[in-house]
Each structure stands twice: as C-alpha cells, then as structure tokens.
Amino acid sequence: MSTTLDILASASLWAAVLRIATPLIFGVLGALICERAGVLNLGIEGIMTMGAMSGWLTVYWGGSLWFGLLAAALSGMAFGWLHAKLTVSLGLSQHVTGLGITLLAASLSYYLYRMWVQVGDLPPTITPFEPIRFPVLSDLPFLGEALFAQTAPTYLALAFVALTAWILARTPLGLAVRMAGENPHAVDAQGLNPLAIRTGAVMAGSALMAVGGAFLTMAAFNSFFPTMVQGRGWICIALVVFASWQPGKALIGALLFALFDAFQLRLQTAIPGAPYQLFLMAPYVLSILALVLVARRARVPEALMQPYRRGER
C-alpha cells in the first residue's frame, strides 16, 4: 500500500500521465468529431502511423517542428478525404473501409520511410520538441514538474479539447455536425449539405488523429518505427464510447488510461520478480472494465454508420 501511495504522490507520475495521454487526446477528439457527424473511422490506427511518419520525415528533411505537425495534419486530411469519399459519397461499409484505410496508411508509411530514408544499424533521429519552462509556474512544487514542464503539443491537445467542446456545443457549425450524425434529413431540409458536412468532419477528425501520431515521433521519441502506435488508435475508438461522445469526458478517459499505463510502468520496478505481462495488460483490462460500466448508459448518435442518400427515408 505504501508503495502505491508513494507512486501516486510523485510528480513524475503525473507528468508522465500527461505525456502518455497527449496522442490519445488528439486521437479520441478526432474519432469523436467523425462519429458525431455519423461516420465511424476505423482508419485511425493507420492514420496515426502515417502522421507519425510524415511529421517526422518533414523535420528530418529540414522542416521546422511546427511545419512537421502541419504536414502530419495534411496527411491525415488526405486519408480522411479518401475514407469520406468511400463511405459518405459512395455509401460503402464504414467498418470495411476503415480497416482498409488502416492497412493502406500503415503499409504506405513504412514503404515510404524505407524508400526515402537510409536506415543503418541505428534509426535516424531528429531534435524533438523540448519541454516548455514557464517562469515561476515551472518552479512550483509538484505542479511545476507535473503540469508546467510539458512540450508544446501537450498544451495544444488540451486547448483542442476546449475548442472542440465549444464548437460542438456553442456554434452553428457544431450544431450542423451534430445534426449530420443525428438526423441528416433535417440538415438537408435546412438547405445544408449533410454529405459535405460529414466529409469535412471526417477530414478534420483525421487531421487530429495524424497529429496525435506525430506527437510520438516529434515529442515522445525522436525516431520513427512502423509499430510505434501500438494500438492507441483502437483505444481511442473505445474511449469515444467511454466518453459518451463528449469532449470533456474524452479528456478524462484519455487521462485515466494514461494513468493506468504510467502506474504499471512504475509498479514493474517497485515489485521485482512479478511477471511483467501482468503489468502490461493491466491498463487494457481496467479500460475494458471502465468501458463496460459506462457503455450501457452511453447515447449513440442516431445516424452513426448510416449512409445518407438524398431523397431516401
């Protein structure tokens, strides 16, 4: 018990929680925007991998870190457009198309990486984002290390949570996106194009997913390898359900999973001799339990995964 309390009371744990949660925050916001518009995007795992590669490669070729994030976002938008073209415009299966996007984006990212980058015994690296030190705030006990010594993309992710929540709840654009996922016929009756709204939402959401992947190569690490996303995309899909399609709850879900993950890493060193596989699976088991507890009360968007064709009822 004392070991557990010591770990929970350490500022380094909570600093790690924010770092681990950052790609999840971007990913879950992207998936949430897509699904609020009525489109399930199972291409997230591949889109995050492509974002990780394209952002890293842009910096490796001499671009700035911020330009690398932009390049990642643009690559995500491209795959988002492809997913929307197949599912929104053509009405194909969102499940099958999403899995196809994941396979295509993940394989293409590794192919381009091997084609454009000379890989030796050690993978090439870049200079990643450095933690930002805030005057006075970064020197505060506990909070300074836990909250005010993060990299810029982490603060950007937190800002996007507030921005997404405000847009969805307080703006005409957010109302149009929500109605496209609830009743696209009502959107059409108001003179708006639900197909265009869904396409734009999928592209915007996919851009955020790709930025989440870029965080891994440009802030958490400094190199790219094809398996680095490690299932984070699928966790984001589950977190959307956990959050009941609400950005604020999505942030809580991402932080909760990150807490489980950071906690198990420290337990591995605090309890030597125990099988490490138990610690590795703990975050996923706890996430499944949390999902089961809230999934029955979650309200799914009415038109989620339902293709819209003008004139049909």
| Radius of gyration of the CA atoms of the chain, in A | 20
Confidence of residue 299 (pLDDT cuts 50, 70, 90): confident
Range of the domain at 184: 2-118+135-295
- The yes-or-no verdict on residue 292 having pLDDT over 90 is no
Confidence of residue 265 (pLDDT cuts 50, 70, 90): confident
Q: What is the mean pLDDT of the chain?
A: 90
In a domain, residue 78? The reply is: yes
- The yes-or-no verdict on residue 4 having pLDDT over 60 is yes
User: Could you report the per-residue pLDDT of 222-237, keeping only the tens digit for each?
Assistant: 999 888 998 899 999 9
> Structure pTM?
0.94
Label residues 163-181 b or e (16+ Cβ within 10 Å = b): ebbebbeeeeebebbbbbb
User: Could you report the per-residue pLDDT of 31-59, keeping only the tens digit for each?
Assistant: 999 999 999 999 999 999 999 999 999 99
Backbone phi, then psi, for 189, in 5-degree steps? -65, -25
In a domain, residue 8? The reply is: yes
In a domain, residue 130? The reply is: no
Both tokens of residue 52?
Answer: 């990780």
In a domain, residue 313? The reply is: no
User: Could you report the per-residue pLDDT of 178-217, keeping only the tens digit for each?
Assistant: 999 999 999 998 989 999 999 999 999 999 999 999 999 9
In a domain, residue 312? The reply is: no
- The yes-or-no verdict on residue 247 having pLDDT over 60 is yes
Q: How far is CA 227 from CA 41, 52, 198, 241, in A?
A: 20, 10, 30, 25
Choose among 179, 209, 212, 210: nearest CA to 197: 179
pLDDT confidence of residue 199: 97
Cα distance from N-terminal residue to C-terminal residue, the chain: 59
38 Cβ contact list (under 8 Å, min separation 6): 180, 181, 182, 184, 198, 301, 303, 304, 305, 306, 308
In a domain, residue 123? The reply is: no
Overall number of domains in the chain: 1
Q: How far is CA 296 from CA 113, 171, 292, 299, 302, in A?
A: 42, 29, 7, 8, 15
Here the CATH number for the domain that contains residue 243 is: 1.10.3470
- The yes-or-no verdict on residue 2 having pLDDT over 70 is no
